Amino acid sequence: KAGVTQTPRYLIKTRGQQVTLSCSPISGHRSVSWYQQTPGQGLQFLFEYFSETQRNKGNFPGRFSGRQFSNSRSEMNVSTLELGDSALYLCASSFLPGDVSGSPLHFGNGTRLTVT
Partner 1 sequence: AQTVTQSQPEMSVQEAETVTLSCTYDTSENNYYLFWYKQPPSRQMILVIRQEAYKQQNATENRFSVNFQKAAKSFSLKISDSQLGDTAMYFCAFTAYSGGGADGLTFGKGTHLIIQP
| 23 forms part of the interface with partner 1 (CB under 8 A) | no
Angle at alpha carbon of residue 42, lines to 94 and 15, rounded to 5°: 100
CB atoms within 10 A of CB 97: 20
| 62 forms part of the interface with partner 1 (CB under 8 A) | no
| 65 forms part of the interface with partner 1 (CB under 8 A) | no
Sign of CA dihedral 8, 34, 77, 18: negative
Q: Which stretch binds partner 1 (CB under 8 A): 20-28, 63-71, 75-83, 94-102?
A: 94-102
For partner 1, give the closer residue by CB, 18 or 56.
Answer: 56
| 90 forms part of the interface with partner 1 (CB under 8 A) | yes
| 48 forms part of the interface with partner 1 (CB under 8 A) | yes
For partner 1, give the closer residue by CB, 34 or 81.
Answer: 34
C-alpha R_g of the chain: 13
**Is the Cβ–Cβ distance between 88 and 1 less than 8 Å?**
no
d(CA 97, CA 14): 34
Applying CB under 8 A, which residues contact partner 1?
33, 35, 42-48, 55-56, 58, 88, 90, 92, 97-100, 102, 104-110, 112
